[in-house]
Amino acid sequence: MPQKKESRAVEINPTYIGYARVSTEDQNLQMQEDALLAAGVGLDHIYVEKKSARAKKRPVLDAALLDCNPDDTLVVWRLDRFGRDVLDVLRRLETMEAAGIKFLSLNEKFDTSSPMGRAFLGMVAVFAQFESDVTKARTKAGVTSAKKRGVQFGRKAKVGPEKYDMLLAMVDDSRSSTEIARRFKISRQTVYETIKKARAAQRRKD
C-alpha cells in the first residue's frame, strides 16, 4: 500500500507583510493570497485592495506599509500589483528603502534584500529616469509643434477678444455689471476682470 506524502506546514515569517490587489470586484484574489501564504506571510498580515492599476491613491497599500517596521518585508505576488508604472514603482521603493523596509515580488523573484535585487533596483531607477526624460521631450516637441499650428494652450477665456468691443460698449452705455454678466453668462467678478483686459487691449490698439 503506497504511503501518503506528509504535508509540510509553511513556516510563517513574522517580518513578512503581504499585499494583494485586483482591479474589479469580480476578479479572484485567491491565487495571490495562496502565493503569499506559501511564501510565509501570515493570513492576518495579508492586505487586500480592490483598485484599478491606474488609481493614484491606494489606502490599503498605505496601511500595509504603515504596518511594516524597519527590516520587515512587503511581499507581493507580482510587480504590477504594487505600482502603476515604472516611475510609481521606483518612488514607492525609494520611500520604503529610506524607511528600512524591504520588498519582495514573488513572480519576478525581485528581492531588495539581496545583492541582485539591489542591482535590479538601480536598473529600475535608470529606466524610470529614461522614461521620464522621453515623456518630457515628447511633450515639449508636441507643444512646440502645436503652437506653430496656432493651437492655443491654457484655459479658454469666457469672453474672448472678439467680444471686447461689445462688452466695452455696454460699459459705456452705463449697463450694470449684473446685466453684462447675464448677457455674457459669466460672473460679475469675471466681468470686472474682462473689462480690465478689454481696456488694456484697447490701449494697445491706440
Residue listed under C-alpha cell 479572484? 28
Q: Which three cell numbers stand for residue 3?
A: 504511503
Question: What is the residue extent of each domain of the chain?
Answer: 16-115, 161-205
Please write down the HEC assignment for all residues of the chain.
CCCCCCCCCCCCCCCEEEEEEECCCCCCCHHHHHHHHHCCCCHHHEEEEECCCCCCCCHHHHHHHHCCCCCCEEEECCHHHCCCCHHHHHHHHHHHHHCCCEEEECCCCEECCCHHHHHHHHHHHHHHHHHHHHHHHHHHHHHHHHHHCCCCCCCCCCCCHHHHHHHHHHHHCCCCHHHHHHHHCCCHHHHHHHHHHHHHHHHHHC
CATH architecture of 16-115: 3-Layer(aba) Sandwich (3.40)
Buried b (16+ CB within 10 A) or exposed e, 136-151: eeeeeeeeeeeeeeee
Question: Strands 16-22 and 73-76: what pairing?
Answer: parallel
Is 161-205 in CATH node 1.10.10? Answer: yes
pLDDT tens per residue across span 106-145:
988 888 888 776 766 666 656 556 566 666 777 776 666 6
When mean pLDDT is compared across 78-82, 91-95, 101-105, 197-201, the lowest value belongs to 197-201
Q: Which one from 23, 114, 176, 187 is the annotated catalytic residue?
A: 23
23 is an active site residue: yes
**Predicted structure pTM score:** 0.57
For residues 156 and 119, what is the distance between their CA atoms, to the nearest angstrom?
A: 48
The amino acid occupying position 12 is I
pLDDT tens per residue across span 145-173:
666 665 555 555 567 777 777 877 787 77
For residues 147 and 162, what is the distance between their CA atoms, to the nearest angstrom?
A: 20
Give the model's pLDDT for residue 146: 62
- For the cut 50, the answer to whether the pLDDT of residue 182 exceeds it is yes
Q: Which of 58, 113, 103, 51 is nearest to 78 (CA)?
A: 103
